[in-house]
Structure 1
Amino acid sequence: MSRRILVVDDSPSLRRMIAMTLKGAGYDVVEAEDGLDALERVAAARFDAVLTDQNMPRMDGLSFIREFKSRPEGQGIPVVFLSTESEGELKDKARAAGALGWMTKPFDQAKLLSVMARVVGA
């Protein structure tokens, strides 16, 4: 059974690129366009990991992580933060919200696959 990953980003082209990379490695990928869309998706299905952007309309990544981790369906699900920003304060906030890891955009495909394999235990 393949691992299901939720990819949350407001850029359709970036979501497609991430999804293609992960699908090529055998992951089942579901896409969400922002934090609110992601919350609807996690309420409807179980995921093995979440990869989320920070800057998105309606609900940003930090707000999404905080809300997701406060819900029963978010318990034990690893979240990787993906952002163009690399400042230490934002990383600290992401960790405090419940993110397990951090990647910067643009992302390296091999690194993305390596990180996801470690996160989901594949």
Structure 2
Amino acid sequence: MDDDPTMLEIVATVLRSGGIDVSTSSTGIDGLRAAHEHPPDCAVLDVTMPDMTGLEVCRALRDDAETADIPIILLTGRGQWLDVASGFDAGADDYLVKPFTAQELLTRVDALTASGQG
């Protein structure tokens, strides 16, 4: 989920290039709805969103038994210690600061989705 269409497309393209099925949402509310309809193997959330922040979406996913176990990566342009800590406090499994490389994103998603299998 990302409110920036360009970043959303970049993230989706990178994940697809790694063989990952991708569904995108540009708002937190749409993302939560999609996560309930078709729970993803991993959620990649931008911290800055128009209707709900990525932190709020993260908390909402964690607070719901149906979505509580979905691995979550937060993306942000803010990498200060307090920003990172607030992401983990919200329940994120990982935190990636922009700009990041395609390989970094794929590696982090692979690590989280592989740990949940088998």
Question: Shorter-chain TM-score: what band?
Answer: over 0.9
Aligned identity (percent) is 27
SS at match of 1:31: coil
What is residue 36 of structure 1 aligned with on the other side? 29
Q: How does 1:43-82 map to 2 (within 5 A)?
A: 43-82=36-75
**Equivalent pair of 1:42/1:73 in contact (CA under 8 Å):** no
SS at match of 2:23: strand
What is residue 109 of structure 2 aligned with on the other side? 116
SS at match of 1:121: helix
Unmatched tracts of structure 2, length 5 or more:
none
SS at match of 2:74: strand
- Structure 2 letter corresponding to 1:35: G
- Shift in Å, 1:118: 0.5
- Shift in Å, 1:14: 0.8
Give the number of the structure whose residues are more often strand, by fraction: 1
What is residue 104 of structure 1 aligned with on the other side? 97
Deviation per residue, 1:22-46 (Å, 9 max, x gap): 1111100010112111111112112
Structure 1 segments of 4+ aligned residues over 2 angstroms from their partners = none
Unmatched tracts of structure 1, length 5 or more:
1-7
Aligned-residue RMSD, C-alpha: 1.1
Aligned residue among 4, 10, 13 for 1:11: 4
